[in-house]
Chains A and B, each alone.
Chain A
Amino acid sequence: MNKHLGKQTIRFDNPPVILASSSIVGPREGEGPLATYFDTIIEDELYGESTWEKAESKLIEKALEKVIEKANKTIDDVKYIISGDLLNQLTASTFGIRNFKVPFIGVYGACSTMAESLSVAAIIVEGGFADYVIASTSSHFCCAEKQFRSPLELGGQRPLTSTWTVTGSGAIFLAESGEGPKITYITTGKIVDFNIKDAMNMGAVMAPAAADTIINHFIDTERDENYYDLIVTGDLGKVGKELLLDILKQYNYDITSKYMDCGIEIFEADKQDTHSGGSGCGCGAVTLAGYILSEMGKGKWKKVLFVATGAMLSQVSLQQGESIPGIAHAVAIEN
């Protein structure tokens, strides 16, 4: 049977099961509205390490340990770890998991990484290549500022359209069978570039990519917005949210009543001074692993379309005046 539908979508006939999920966040996220949903809230951004980068690796390590524990498995059961982050050469992931001695596939999708790693993990499990696979990702505010903007020591101002990179890591334990929500479809995004060059306005970069993936998901699966209880994007923020809803309305999809953005949910923007909202790989990851999956377990939502969005820029591409391409990957999670 052909599992590939239309242009970008894969259907899973034996849907992989989310056995467990874990989330670990920084202090600012721990003061936000979703605080009670996270497994661990660290007390300071350095997490007892000497550098921000070491702290981020430790976030991944702890998230993975926690998810294995919550799934009632051991590290030896895990056949693959699929992970990625925002640092050069994915060092947060590779350094974080180096003691686990588990086959590793590194993925980079900027802030869309959670959906990307989950997609790859789901394909491996459903294909029968492994029974247990972990998908994870992380981001750290202080590392990301250094990587993409300017070092914290510069103390520069942040414009109101800018987002705040979430410090945190989320991990999801996928299994061939068992109890839990299932991954039924994935829609893999393509690079979408509307020639935007403002690195302080990622919402505008990623909204067209999110719209493209959502529309193609609907077309490929012959579903529409009425099928889902919740359609959630990774980190569009306030600016990107309005854009996405507008674009989708032009294509006659009105998702307003079912729509949520992890970047808006994770912080209380007015009180926490985070401007347009949260962002980063960790934003979608901890919101999915902490908030959304646990509410799905309680029955608040049954059919969720998780669409993580990424801005595929680098410091070099930015300095050379290139525009910023966006991407979005969708994962349908159903009880």
Chain B
Amino acid sequence: MFFELCTLKTGGFIMDYVNAFIVGGIICVIGQILLDKTQLMPARILVLFVTLGVILTALGIYEPIVNFAGAGATVPLPGFGYALAKGVINEVNTEGFMGVLTGGLKATAAGISAVIVFGYIIALIFNPKAKA
């Protein structure tokens, strides 16, 4: 009853949360399994996930996942690859072949700039501490 009410009043937002949780969770579980069961270092897993995001988007597989799970698919690392690939596709469609080189960074400029700006601010404010 409560669930139906929520769905009626909000257009299914509860399910949005659940879908995001499940898909985002599965992506993180894959990362955790790679950390525990292989000798891959974190940096390699990072690159692997971003690259996979690009490839899956190019093959048209990642877009449906994003439509289904929203932030659950765009926030984890493959989501960055998705944004890169999507940016290139859009730019190529509007600007032509040079979009291959410009589209990716344009689409992810906000994310990259935010990392640099916030990274700098955090480094100014805080000092690293030993693991407790």
CB < 8 Å neighbour of A152 from B35, B42, B43, B130: B130
Question: Digit string of B29-55 for contact with A (CB within 8 Å is 1, else 0)?
Answer: 000000110010011000000000000
Distance (whole angstroms) from the CB of A315 to the closest CB of chain B: 11
Report whether A153 and B36 are in contact in the complex, using a CB–CB cutoff of 8 Å. Answer: no
Question: Digit string of B108-130 for contact with A (CB within 8 Å is 1, else 0)?
Answer: 00000000000000000000111
Report whether A152 and B39 are in contact in the complex, using a CB–CB cutoff of 8 Å. Answer: no
CB < 8 Å neighbour of B36 from A26, A45, A159, A167: A159
Interface of chain A, helix or strand or loop or mixed?
Answer: loop
A147: chain B residues at CB < 8 Å are: none
Question: Digit string of A128-156 for contact with B (CB within 8 Å is 1, else 0)?
Answer: 00000000000001100000001111101
B131 within 8 A of A: yes
Report whether B36 and A152 are in contact in the complex, using a CB–CB cutoff of 8 Å. Answer: no
Distance (whole angstroms) from the CB of B29 to the closest CB of chain A: 14
B131: chain A residues at CB < 8 Å are: 141, 152
Distance (whole angstroms) from the CB of A4 to the closest CB of chain B: 41
Report whether B42 and A153 are in contact in the complex, using a CB–CB cutoff of 8 Å. Answer: no
How far is B130's CA from A164's CA once the two chains are assembled, in angstroms?
12
A157: chain B residues at CB < 8 Å are: 35, 42
B36: chain A residues at CB < 8 Å are: 159
Report whether A153 and B128 are in contact in the complex, using a CB–CB cutoff of 8 Å. Answer: yes
Report whether B130 and A141 are in contact in the complex, using a CB–CB cutoff of 8 Å. Answer: yes
Known A157-B35, A159-B36; judge A150-B42 contact (CB<8 A). yes
Known A157-B35, A159-B36; judge A151-B128 contact (CB<8 A). yes
Inter-chain residue pair count (beta carbon < 8 A): 27
Report whether A198 and B128 are in contact in the complex, using a CB–CB cutoff of 8 Å. Answer: no
How far is B128's CA from A154's CA once the two chains are assembled, in angstroms?
10
How far is B2's CA from A51's CA once the two chains are assembled, in angstroms?
56
Among residues of B, the one whose C-beta sits closest to the C-beta of A273 is: B131
A54: chain B residues at CB < 8 Å are: none
Distance (whole angstroms) from the CB of A268 to the closest CB of chain B: 16
How far is B127's CA from A153's CA once the two chains are assembled, in angstroms?
9
Distance (whole angstroms) from the CB of B42 to the closest CB of chain A: 5
A197 within 8 A of B: yes
B35: chain A residues at CB < 8 Å are: 157, 159
A28: chain B residues at CB < 8 Å are: 130
Report whether B128 and A142 are in contact in the complex, using a CB–CB cutoff of 8 Å. Answer: yes
How far is B42's CA from A142's CA once the two chains are assembled, in angstroms?
18
Distance (whole angstroms) from the CB of B119 to the closest CB of chain A: 9
A152: chain B residues at CB < 8 Å are: 128-131
Among residues of A, the one whose C-beta sits closest to the C-beta of B35 is: A157
26 contacts between A and B (CB under 8 A): A26-B130, A28-B130, A45-B129, A45-B130, A141-B130, A141-B131, A142-B128, A142-B130, A150-B42, A150-B43, A151-B128, A152-B128, A152-B129, A152-B130, A152-B131, A153-B128, A154-B42, A156-B42, A157-B35, A157-B42, A159-B35, A159-B36, A167-B130, A197-B39, A198-B39, A200-B39
Query: Could you list 15 further interchain pairs (A-B, Cβ under 8 angstroms) beyond the known A45-B129, A157-B35?
Result: A44-B130, A45-B130, A141-B131, A142-B128, A142-B130, A150-B42, A150-B43, A151-B128, A152-B128, A152-B129, A154-B42, A157-B42, A167-B130, A197-B39, A198-B39
Residues of B within 8 A of A (CB): 35-36, 39, 42-43, 128-131
Residues of A within 8 A of B (CB): 26, 28, 44-45, 141-142, 150-154, 156-157, 159, 167, 197-198, 200
